[in-house]
Structure 1
Amino acid sequence: MMMRASIGRRIVWLCLGAALVLPGSGRAQGPSPKVEAIEDLTYATIDGRELKLDLARPAGEGGPYPAIVAIHGGAWRAGDKADLRGLLAELAGLGYVAISPQYRFCPETTFPAQVHDVKAALRWLKGNAERFGVDPDRVGAVGFSAGGHLALMLGVTDEDDGLEGPVEDGQPGTRIQAVVNFFGPTDLAADDLPEISKPLVRDFIGGTAEEKPEETKAASPLTFVSEDDPPILTFQGTADPLVPPSQAIKLAEAMAEAGVDGRLELIIGAGHGWRDPELSRTKRMMVEFFDLHLKGEGEPPSYLRP
């Protein structure tokens, strides 16, 4: 992922190690003294299995703070919530409550289980708003690769789209106010998906687009873009070997047609992830985007200023 893909083991490493070179990623060496970090909180129990998340928040009794759900990548089949602990701590140091949930993997568990899981984590976060000092009306999501796809699904789907999963009476809704998508796929039925990505999508859906057209459509964020969606910022490398830039461009075009606010940032020559100086720049843009839409304070982001 930190270099363009070739054949064999490097392709697999690129796919499954997606979180390794992303903004704020990597396992934390220890939280800042001003940050409280809690690991392995159970947010749901499904078929006897506890699903857990990590959380970081500003230390003390302040708040309520805006919140961010950070979702790891790994082709819906691998990855670790712990890879984003550094990002959680950094966001908490900037005045956010941040969580990173685990979710069930394919091919053992196929779509829509992964969407159900991240929505359950979001409901848990809102349901525990008072406990952790969260403002449930100021929540965003960020994700990387497959996690970007899931973050988009949080942003563009509504409670009546049939993707909520099990919901108990009285649980909060899953509407959010901002999405940052790092090279997540948007159209899983696209005919220009690279050959290396087709079996990954097939395992996620449980069949090919020809075999399961309705499921593939329902698993594609592009299907649900509408005028009431939150602002979306997408980062996409133009040389991505797994997610072609056409995926991000389609999303941007659909957003423009529907009147959804946001931005597409194409990183020229970048693959499925990048290092500095683009790493620091995109990280700064992510924070500015969340500050604008979740805090509503300060000047417009640097990329909107002349």
Structure 2
Amino acid sequence: MRGNVKDSIIKYTYDDMPKVTNYPRRTKVIKGDKKNVRAFIGKDIVYCEKDGMELKLRFIYPEQLKENEKYPLFLHVQGSAWMKQDLNEHVLDFKDIVTSGYVLAIVEYRPSNVALFPGQVLDTKCAMRYIQKHSNELNIDINNVFISGDSSGGHTASLCWATWNNYKIDYTNELLCDVRGFINLYGVSNLATMNKYCSAFDHERNSPATDIIGVDCLSDNLDLALQASPIFYINDYSNDDPLLIIHGNKDRVVPFEQSIELYEKCSSHNKNVDFYCVDDADHGGSLFYCKDTIDIIISFLRKYTNK
């Protein structure tokens, strides 16, 4: 008898499944939103192995992922003072970016105690080349790629922007894909001036800023510090892909003036740059990652996404 019941079960599709409407009186009904999109974290992928480290990419996809559908990519370089990164730190901050139709990929790079500058830039470009070669299986629309970074990751993203496909900082002459736009969130722009501005930290000696270039003191190594800075690579002939800069004006870690320097250098060379100040915001945090900030990022992505 039980077997006969199983044989009689109809395997309904969602569209065919009848809706129950004879629920008890006083049942409170919530109207579901059929346009709502959730996100899910995919399996980490090792994009390369360097210095004994398996470097990973963490992918976050829209839930309605379809097997043959391609999504634009938002590649993010995680801030960590150039040390070991927590790849989950901004997953929830960027959730609305994913649910608006973008795949989020967070790239792991070698920390400064393993690789000095420009190791982080080389790793990010290596990750991008991996994605290029595997874009079909990753459901990535390689014609719509954006690269972002926050803090030390913003430093890396800005260096990628300034040196994209000009091979000034690269490990191969293999062509990189076109990028629709770059985003710098409160990133370091000029290591040589990190200690010039008001800050809660002394960047001058034995700091993340000195560790990334392998010295003890910034002021004794200003030429080296400058050469490890995005502004050093910006000129009339450098990359002109759109750049979005966002920084809080009460940042106690990376001085707000770092982004002013970057914006003014970009403007002096007629780059396609937008600069936003998040009023009262410190170094990231809840005040910075508010709805208005995320909406500005999404608007930037949509503006430059090729439909």
Q: What TM-score, normalized to structure 1?
A: 0.77
8 A Cα contact 1:54 1:85, kept in partner:
no
- Give the corresponding residue for 1:272: 283
Give, in angstroms, the shift of residue 35 of structure 1: 4.4
Query: Residue type matched to 1:200 in 2?
Result: P
Conserved 8 A contact 2:58-2:107? yes
For structure 1, the 5+ residue unaligned runs are 1-31, 297-306
| Distance (Å, rounded) in 1 between the aligned partners of 2:293 and 2:224 | 33
3-state secondary structure, aligned to 2:246: strand
Higher relative contact order (CA 8 A, sep 6+): 1
1:101-152 superposed Cα distances (whole Å, 9 cap, x missing partner): 1111113321111111111111111121122232223211121111111111
* Maintained 8 Å contact 2:93/2:289: no
> Within 5 Å, which residues of 2 pair with 1:164-243?
164-165=170-171, 167=172, 171-173=174-176, 175-190=178-193, 192-193=196-197, 194=199, 195-198=201-204, 199-207=207-215, 208-227=217-236, 228-243=239-254
Q: Which moved more, 1:142-151 or 1:270-279?
A: 270-279
Identity over the aligned pairs, expressed in percent?
24
Distance 1:220 1:277 in 2: 24
> Counterpart of 1:6?
none
Q: Which residue of 2 aligns with 1:26?
A: none
User: Which stretches in structure 2 are left out of the alignment for 5+ residues?
Assistant: 1-35
Determine if the alignment matches structure 1 residue 159 to structure 2 residue 170: no
Which of the two has greater helix per residue?
Answer: 1
**TM-score (normalised: structure 2):** 0.76
**Are the structure 2 counterparts of residues 137 and 212 from structure 1 closer, same or farther at C-alpha, using a change threshold of 3 Å?**
farther
The aligned residue for residue 257 of structure 1 is 268
1:246 maps to which residue? 257
Give the structure with higher Rg (CA).
2
Number of aligned positions between the proteins? 262
Say whether the 8 Å CA contact 2:186–2:283 is kept in structure 1. Answer: yes
Mapped to 1, the partners of 2:288 and 2:57 lie a distance apart of 30
Out of 48, 53, 57, the residue aligned to residue 44 of structure 1 is 48
Q: Name the amino acid aligned to 1:126.
A: Q
Deviation at 1:274, TM superposition (A): 4.1
- Residue 15 of structure 1 corresponds to which residue in structure 2? none
Return the alpha-carbon distance in structure 1 between the equivalents of residues 94 and 127 of structure 2: 15
Tell me the distance in 2 between the aligned counterparts of 1:294 and 1:218.
Answer: 32
Map 1:1-306; keep pairs closer than 5 Å.
Answer: 35=39, 37-58=41-62, 59-87=65-93, 90-165=96-171, 167=172, 171-173=174-176, 175-190=178-193, 192-193=196-197, 194=199, 195-198=201-204, 199-207=207-215, 208-227=217-236, 228-276=239-287, 279-295=290-306
Aligned partners of 2:47 and 2:176: how far apart in 1?
15
Q: CA-atom RMSD, angstroms? A: 2.5
> Residues 247 and 276 of structure 2 are in contact (CA less than 8 Å); yes or no, is this contact kept in structure 1?
yes
Code of the aligned partner of 1:115:
V
Could you list the per-position Cα deviations for residues 173-227 of structure 1 after superposition, in whole angstroms to 9, with x for gaps in the alignment? 1552211211001011115154533321000111144554454223211112245
- Conserved in 1, the CA contact under 8 Å of 2:51 and 2:114? no
Q: Which moved more, 1:50-59 or 1:155-164?
A: 155-164
Q: CA deviation at 1:48?
A: 3.5
- Quick one: distance in 2 between partners of 1:232 and 1:52? 26
**1:100 offset after TM fit, Å?**
0.4
Partners of 2:178 and 2:192 in 1: CA distance: 26
